[in-house]
Structure formats: structure tokens, C-alpha cells
Chain A
Amino acid sequence: MSEDWDVVVAGAGIVGAACANECVSRGLRTAIVEAGEIGGGATAAGMGHIVVMDDSPAQLALTSYSQGLWRELASRLPASVEYESCGTLWVASDDEEMKEVHRKRALYATVGIASEVLDSRALSEAEPHLSPALAGALLVPSDGVLYPPCAAEFLVREAVRLGAKLYSQFKVISAGNGLVRLNDGTELRAPRIINALGSEASTLVPDLPIRKRKGHLVITDRYPGFVHHQLVELGYLKSAHSIATDSVAFNVQPRKTGQVLLGSSRQFGAEDSTVDYSMVAAMIDRARAFMPEIGTLSAIRIWTGFRAATPDKLPQIGPWQEDPTLFLAAGHEGLGITTSLGTAKVLVDYLMDGETGIPIDPYLPARFVRSEAHA
């Protein structure tokens, strides 16, 4: 069997779902192929924190752009997506970190993201379970939280409602030169193929610079009101050196259900999904330093997932230089939920007329080829 489409999207994680939804909204005849559950990979493993971040100007551009798109979409999201504009509190332990709070506030203002500096007392009032010894925090009220698998499902259902076709439980065997082959022999022809397979993207495009970066999360039973904002520590800034080894950070999220979601860990080179209790314990110990009472909470589930990490921590969005029909929307590491909407907009703008809402250049896959050639 052979079918013709304007676009075929491989992967119905949050990024593929957003791309498919964007394509079909712009009038493109779109097919989506997913081998497993919708949003069942890294999307299901993620926290669902919609957050503006500033590791690099390009990251700030994409996250702030995307956060705005989520806010626009918020009123249309069904209850199952559990979207809540709870805001992020970047927690500072000491005066040095408070300097960072002020720097961050000024920088966020340059991209139109309002934020507010909280001193120690204001932080205690905002989050009574945080240690009173903390110096303060930066509150970014426009950040939010959602439940990623249902967000992906919503985007796919929207796409299907608008005419896209979902190939559920089909595996893409090969993609390139305008042709996508599925495991049952079906051939989908399209002048544009979007590879949104996350950490599996390199199964279709060899030598992609995407590595798996393992993470652990723990979720509790319901404790309504235990925490109100997404809490993230600023402490990582104390270190001067970049490291590639295992690490954890204090990262706590209030779910709309009243559950508390605890992150986060990062590991390279850990390819199996087994729970590593040393990482879990490090996360919990870190959390107890910030929230002493958290130790008494009842955990109901631990899980692991794999982020699709690139060398410069920016996603790969745009054409693959070796095949004019192949486009990438992968490598979003820990920010795929946030940046899925921005990724889809930028990529489809680029496909349609070349004019993009924010410059696409920092995310073009060709950047890695260039840097290798110059090395």
C-alpha cells in the first residue's frame, strides 16, 4: 500500500504531536506514525514543567517563545492535561545566589517575562515547607505545569480532528528521499518527513549527535497544599566547571492532583531503565536539605526516562543536510514539553515560507556539521 501526504511525522511524543498539529492547522495533509502509546516515551517520563530557562540566549528565546504559546493554548486544554499556571520559584540558598536571582530577573525582562524577587520571609510565606534558612527566590509567575501524556494526546486528537491520519502501533522502518516505510510494508510518500523520535531519532538518521541522558522521578500520594509552586534550586551555579558525570538537583513540583513530584537526576552512559537507588537517595537527601518534612511523604512510584541530549543542550530543528526531504525535531533534552510548541511553530514556519517567529539558526542541525568541519 502506498499513500501520498504533504508531511509525515515520525513519533507522537509531545514534539511530534505538536508538529503534526501545527502542520495540519496550516493546511498540510499530515500523517503521524507512532509505534507505542501516544506520549509514551520521554514525554511520559517527564515532569511537565513549562519553564523559561536561560542557559544560553537561544534557550531563552525558544523557552520564552514556547511558554507564551502554552499560555495562549491554556484555555483550550482539556482538564485531563492538568495545566496549572503555578509559576516557578528559583530558590536561592545564600547571598551569592541572590545575586543570580537579580541577574535572572533583569535578563528575563529583556524577553518580556515578568518575574519578582522574594526575600527570605516572602519565600517562607509562599512556601511554608521550605527551610526558613533560605535566602530568597525569583518567582516567575507565568511558568506552569501540565501532565504531558494527555497534552500529547490532546494535540494528536486535535490534529486528527482537523484531518491528520494517525498510524498507531506502526513502526517506521526507514525514512528518507520522500519515502517512509512502515513495519507492515506500507509506504508513505511525502516531500517533507519530520523525525520527532526523541532519543530514538538516530535509528533513522545515523550519526546524529543525540545521546540518552537518564533521569529519575518520584511521585507521592496526594498532599494538597504541601507545595504551591514548582521549586528549583539555583545552587548549580556555585560550580565553575561543566561536568559530564551523574548529578542531582532539588526540583519539586505540585501536581494539580495534590501529588508532589520530586526530581531530578542526570546520568550519561546509563542505558537501562532500572531504578538506581543511589540517585533516588541523592535526590531525596537534596530535597530534605531544602524541605525537611518531605521525608515523611508517601512515595507511590519511581520511574526513569531518557532525555535526548545534544552537545550544546539545544534541540535540532530544521532540515537534515544530507536529505532535502528530511527534517529534524529532536534532541530537546529536559525541555521537550516546554519547547514542543515553539519547535513546531518554528519548524512549520520554516517549511511553509521561511519566516520564523524566532530565528531558527541556533537550532539548525547543520550547526554540528559546521563545528566539526572547523575543528
Chain B
Amino acid sequence: MKQHFDILVIGAGPAGIAAAVRAAESGARVGLLDDNPAPGGQIWRKGAALPAAARDWIAKLDASPVVRLHGWHVFAHPASGVLMAESTAATDREAAELHYDKLVLATGARERFLPFPGWTLPNVMGAGGLDAMVRGGLPISGKRVVVAGTGPLLLAVAAHLAHRGAKVVAICEQAPVGRLAAFSLRLLDQPGKVMQGINYRWASRNARFHTGCWPIAANGQGSLESVTLQRNDQQWDVACDYLACGYHLVPNLELPVLLGCRIQNGFVATDKWQQTSIPGVLCAGEPTGIGGVELAILEGQIAGLAAADRISVASGLVQKRSRFQGFVRALANAVELDPQLRTLPSAETIVCRCEDVPFHVLGGYSSQRDAKLHTRCGMGPCQGRICGAATQFLFGWGADSVRPPVLTASFSSLAAASCAAGHASNDILNQNRKDTHTL
């Protein structure tokens, strides 16, 4: 498949949907690509009742002429103005060559996972991870769940799981109560967020809410049976069927980095119009700073309008966006990780789940790349998406370079990328091969 778009949007979460809808208003040919089977991203994932804003934007998307590519993931950027994608949903892995004049990256965020003894046991998942699995059909009614980690996602997940009939036995927030109180005060100028928080807490009111508390071990034979929690000097076991544990969010930067976008303080640097350092490439939502749904929608709209050269319309939204800057900072402060979490892994705790690299072999390496080369940490198919954020926190290593394909792709799909690169591979094949090849 080969398609051309005036504006191509990558990621169909709130930012991407808003970008695509607004960009299409001008009559531009707009494409919206996402690896999930349906629009909404992680936060508006299908399979549960959606908030009004989600219903509203998805309805606008449905009514728009946006060309939608659900169940596709981008794996390569073979030439300027071209991305290669592969079908995620279909098992036969079709490849698509997508040309664009302007590109909006709305790649969202993922949970940060910190390794602790037992975290590789089945039924230990991310907070958003368990939520996504439940929305994807995993039965949860009557199951005992401990929700842990940090960030606003915990309460939202606990509320949803409780609503679905789960018995949420504990909610553990690593941040101390004082920091959470300060964050709550900061929210007072955003009544919507306060009401949302109150509703979430009410929905999961039967669960114990602990602050300054986290799981130090997941226990079980072959599958999760209980969790050991720690708060100050206290430790206790809680029997449960699932542990939903995520330490807030980290941005999905692989694609922006592959495209060469400048990264500043761990996020994609953008100007007033969501324009990145690469001309014609814009970025919106969590990759520019973790700020939640409302900010993502605003940024997405600005990016979509700017990509469609409708700066005057976008300028009205720029003012609104500035109101969220304080929130982004306050959120980052509230979820700052307790340094004690660095002591969570034992010597034998697996850090890299793809390659089963234990914690104790990683000491003494100077960088992510050094450790990767000599221990295989981050060398597996997830390409360090899970262990990278953990080793960054545990050892202070910076992010490793991004290598294509940014997500796994079949050899056939990789071969298809050459057409996009503007060469015919036959030219090379037909040349003489005198030399023996070894490398």
C-alpha cells in the first residue's frame, strides 16, 4: 500500500484525534495512524464508558474525512517525507508506504516500570496495563487487586476496576501525603480535575489508600498470590490476584528521535505552534511534557491547525495552553520518585525482561549502550522501552540511541522500505560481487 497525505498524524489518542480533526477542517487530505484497533489511545481506550470529551472528539473524528489507519505501527523513516508502517492487527504483516507534506507526532506516553522482586510474575501488570487488559476483555469481577505506583492514573484505574466489579484491596501511592496535598491545592483552579479526583476516590472508596507506600515484593508460585507492601518501617503482605503497578508516565520518544527532533529535558522541544526542530514535523501531547488529556487536546488542535497553515485560528488556543504550564510542573513535582525506590531490586531481580538480565550484572557499566553491549540489557524486542526508563532512574544513565526499526517489522516489510528510499534494490543485486562478505 502506498498513500500520500498533506498532513499525517501518528497516534490516535486525544492529541492525535484533535490534530487530525482540526487539520482536516481546511480540506487538507489528512491521515491518522495508530497501532491500536480503535481510536482513543490509552486514555480513551474502548471497552469502558468514555468521558464526554472523548465521545465528543471521537464523534468529530467519525464525522470528518480523515483517512484512518488503525492497527498500524510505524517502523522506519527511509527518506524525507516518508514513513513506513506495518500492520499490527493482521497476522500477515502488510507494509504501507506513507508519504506526507506535514507530520504531527502524537505518540503519547507509556508507564514507567521499576523492577522489584517478583515483578516478572504473571498477573503483575502496569496500572494502565491491567486497565487496558480489562478493557480488552480480561474478566476482573470479584478479583482482588492492589493498585500501586505513583500518579493520577492510579485512582482512575482503581475507580474503573472497582466499577467493573474488582475488589480493590489497596491503593499505594509512593509520594508522601504532604506532596499530594500540595498538588491538590494547586488543582483548586481546575475544578474539573478536583471533581474527577473525588469521583475516582469515591468509586474505589472500599480500598485502603496508603501514601509513601509501595510494593517491595510480588509473591507466588508461577503466578501472583500476594504482595508485600512497605510504608516507612512497616511491611505487610496483602493477598491478591492482580498487582497493577506503574510509576507515572514517560513519553514515547522513539519516533521523534528517529526523525531527528531535538529533545530537551527528556521531552520533544516545540515552539509556540507545536513545531519541532525538524521543519514540517510537529508534536503534540505527552511527548512534549506529561500534562494530561485537556492539555493534549489543546496541543493537538494547535498542531493540526498550524500544520494546515491556519495560524490565526490556532493563536486563540495558544493562550489557553499557557494556563497548563503550572499544572505540568506541579504534576512532575508531585510524582517525583522517592530515592529509596532505587533499593527495590535485589541482586537477582530481572531488570531487562526481554533478555532476563539481572540487576547485579549491571553495576560498573558507564552507559545504557555499554550495558547493552556487554549484558544484553535492552537488546530484546522491546528495544529498551521497559528497562530503559528503569535504568535511567536506577543508574542515572541517559537514553540510548534509537535504531530502526523503531518497532519490530518483518524482513518483507523492511525490504518494502527501499522503494520509499528511492532506490531499486535490483540495481545493487545486479552488480558484480567479487568480494566475499563477512562482517
Give the interface of A toward B (CB within 8 A): 37-40, 44-47, 49, 51, 53, 55, 80, 149-150, 153, 168-169, 215, 217-218, 220-221, 232, 235-236, 238-243, 245-249, 251, 262-266, 275-282, 284-288, 294-303, 305, 307, 313, 334-335, 338
Contacts and interface: CB of A to CB of B under 8 A. Distances in A.
B425 A335 contact: no
Scoring B381, B411, B416, B422 by chain A CB atoms within 10 A of each residue's CB, the highest score goes to B411
9 contacts: A37-B369, A218-B411, A277-B420, A277-B423, A282-B418, A284-B425, A298-B410, A302-B414, A307-B439
Contact of A241 (B381, B408, B428, B434): B434
B437 A266 contact: yes
A275 B69 CA distance: 26
B414 A149 contact: no
Given A287-B411, A296-B412, A298-B408, A247 B432 contact: yes
B163 to A, nearest CB: 37
Contacts of A40: 369-370, 373
Interface string B5-37: 000000000000000000000000000000000
Nearest to B412: A295
Scoring A80, A236, A249, A300 by chain B CB atoms within 10 A of each residue's CB, the highest score goes to A300
A169 B366 contact: yes
B432 A248 contact: no
Contact of B436 (A153, A236, A281): A236
B48 to A, nearest CB: 31
B204 to A, nearest CB: 39
Contacts of B434: 236, 239, 241-243, 247
Contacts of A49: 438-439
Contacts, number: 187
Nearest to B355: A257
A363 B52 CA distance: 75
Contact of A294 (B381, B411, B438): B411
Which 3 A-B residue pairs are closest in the complex by CB-CB distance?
Answer: A281-B418, A278-B423, A239-B432
Interface string B392-423: 00000000000111001111101111111111
Contact of A232 (B367, B373, B421, B437): B437
B78 interface: yes
A232 B79 CA distance: 30
Nearest to A295: B412
Instruction: State the majority secondary structure of interface residues on A.
Output: mixed
B253 to A, nearest CB: 17
B435 A266 contact: yes
A45 B435 contact: no
A51 B339 CA distance: 49
B425 A281 contact: yes
A285 B419 CA distance: 13
Nearest to A267: B428
B436 A53 contact: yes
A300 B437 contact: no
B410 A296 contact: yes
Given A241-B434, A251-B438, A277 B76 contact: yes
Given A286-B429, A295-B412, A300-B380, A277 B436 contact: no
Contacts of B426: 282, 285
Scoring B379, B419, B422, B433 by chain A CB atoms within 10 A of each residue's CB, the highest score goes to B433
A246 B428 contact: yes
B433 A247 contact: yes
Contacts of B425: 278, 281-282, 284-285
Nearest to B416: A281
B428 A280 contact: no
B374 interface: yes
Contact of A303 (B403, B408, B411): B403
A245 B431 CA distance: 8
B383 interface: yes
A358 to B, nearest CB: 20
Contact of A295 (B76, B373, B411, B432): B411
A218 B414 contact: yes
Nearest to B369: A37
B419 to A, nearest CB: 8
B307 to A, nearest CB: 26
Contact of B403 (A279, A286, A301): A301
Given A249-B436, A266-B435, A281-B418, A153 B411 contact: no
